[in-house]
Structure 1
Amino acid sequence: MNPFKKDGKSVSIFITAGYPEKESLAVQLLSLQKQGIDFIEIGIPFSDPLADGPVIQETSTTALKNGMNLNLLFEQLSEIRKEIYIPLVLMSYLNPILQFGEDLFLEQCKATGISGVIIPDLSFELVQNKYRSSFGSGKIPLIYLITPTTPDSRISQIAQVSSDAFIYLVGQNKITGSFYSLSDHAKRYSELKQLCDDVPLFLGFGISTDEQKKEAFQYVDGIIVGTAYLRALSQGTERKFIEKLRS
């Protein structure tokens, strides 16, 4: 059963493990779950991100200074997991995982009930050619990213191996948090949804308001909000932000 499929639309929030404090993870997970968030994407802080905008980069820097690492993250997840009933997704770049050990990483993901993993710099082709026995094994669902310019044939291939996960639509070819108009890509978003067949398609990168959420829901199955939430978190207004987003 795919934990990301539901009758209605989904709202997901991206958080950075270890931000704003080393022990913030449990409080954030429980709070977001209580406020009705459908699933949570937990970012593993990394010093050299490729696609993250300045807000997420700043939270990663703070988290690393706080001492957050994969060992600590899995320890914290083990302590809180029984209280969390919504799906959790981990987002990491490939380098920290390889340093940790890819097999150990997947084992820990399974032990802590992780529903999927996003690795932005691990392409579909790289999985097929080099990491088929680990990331391509199906031990933990791997969530692939696509953009409006991704070829149709590649999207169809990704959809075939994503039946137990979702496909992450990067709404624009820019870093996270950048503003863009959803309507400019409306036709393409609808085409992508058809190509994904029965696999949920979630839109991220730049979604920040209830109005954008409603517009996105016309084309996709859900949204992922990161920068805007982390900005609200830094200002102490995260609960009000979620209330408005979920209105």
Structure 2
Amino acid sequence: MSNLTENRLSNIFKNNKKKISIYLTAGYPNLTDTVKLLKILESAGVDFVEIGIPFSDSVMDGPVILNSHKKALENGMTLDFLFSQLEVIRKNISVPVVLMGSMNPVYQYGFENFCKKCGDLGVDGLLLPDLPLLDFKKYYQDFYQQNNLAPIFMISPQTSPTRLAAIDEAGAGFLYAVSSSSTTGSSTKMEDNIGYFEKLGNLKLKNPVAVGFNINTKNDVRIVHQYADAAIIGSAFIKEIEYEIDESRIIKFINGLEN
């Protein structure tokens, strides 16, 4: 997507500073917490945020994030309610925002309408892991471009060089590199993935690389930052806010990840 207009997401990768991103589930732990968390994460210095759209049948997530989806849906979170929350974010929040979720609720909303709403609200990128690359290029690419949304795709250790090149060419913002073949929140050690990270670092990809899945500690972040542009923390953060949202505790958690 060479004609994507620069947005907040593309701008943050212009410098060489290693980035930290946080994943949160919309409507978790409480229905109205999404914007509150965005404000806290921005004040804590997080570089960009992924907001997960809760869905009952997510296949990539481990028990921690799956439980957060279940709780958010029980709280009453819907796409319409999430969009109503995000209407205010660009009045005082500048951190780049990526929406992440399954295609099912997007299809139900209407893909063109979904992209337009995201563009109107100041969302910077979309990560829809079950959107096939060929379908994106054939049916949906124009909707992304019209609304200045970065199409973000996932790659994994099993992604072939040919497919990786095609994904890199079609994508923008960053490539989401799954650290291993496990689900989110597993006990896989980051040290076991160094060979994969080195391989990615040697490919001279067009897009920055952000690594996610199973990043829990400062040492995990340090390893990722040696080889990639950003580290994405999901399950570990969801655990931090399971019972309450404490701003000082969240800031301490974020500071504890930095090297």
TM-score of the two chains, using structure 1 as the length reference: 0.93
Pairing of 1:94-113 with structure 2 (within 5 A): 94-113=103-122
CA shift for structure 1 position 130: 4.6
Q: Which whole-Å CA distance do the structure 2 matches of 1:26 and 1:137 have between them?
A: 26
Paired position in structure 2 for 1:241: 253
Distance 1:52 1:196, change over 3 A: farther
Paired position in structure 2 for 1:118: 127
Runs (4 or more) in structure 1 with deviation over 6 Å come to none
Pairing of 1:94-173 with structure 2 (within 5 A): 94-134=103-143, 139-162=148-171, 164-173=172-181
Distance 1:240 1:208, change over 3 A: same
CA contact (8 A) 1:17 1:45 kept: yes
Any stretches of 5+ residues in structure 1 without a counterpart?
none
Report sequence identity in percent.
35
Any stretches of 5+ residues in structure 2 without a counterpart?
1-5
Q: Which whole-Å CA distance do the structure 2 matches of 1:90 and 1:159 have between them?
A: 19
Q: CA RMSD in A?
A: 1.8
Whether 2:226 is the aligned partner of 1:218: answer yes
Q: Does the residue aligned with 2:242 lie in a helix, a strand or coil? A: helix
CA contact (8 A) 1:45 1:64 kept: yes
Distance 1:194 1:4, change over 3 A: farther
Paired position in structure 1 for 2:203: 195
Q: Does the residue aligned with 2:77 lie in a helix, a strand or coil? A: coil
TM-score of the two chains, using structure 2 as the length reference: 0.89
Provide, for residues 203-225 of structure 1, a one-character-per-residue CA deviation record: whole Å limited to 9, x for no partner.
00000101110011111111100
CA shift for structure 1 position 192: 1.5
CA shift for structure 1 position 102: 0.5
CA shift for structure 1 position 82: 1.6
Q: Which whole-Å CA distance do the structure 2 matches of 1:83 and 1:138 have between them?
A: 21
Which amino acid counterpart does residue 224 of structure 2 have in structure 1?
A
CA shift for structure 1 position 94: 0.1
CA shift for structure 1 position 129: 4.4
Paired position in structure 1 for 2:98: 89
Q: Which whole-Å CA distance do the structure 2 matches of 1:229 and 1:24 have between them?
A: 14
Distance 1:3 1:78, change over 3 A: same
Q: Does the residue aligned with 2:16 lie in a helix, a strand or coil? A: coil
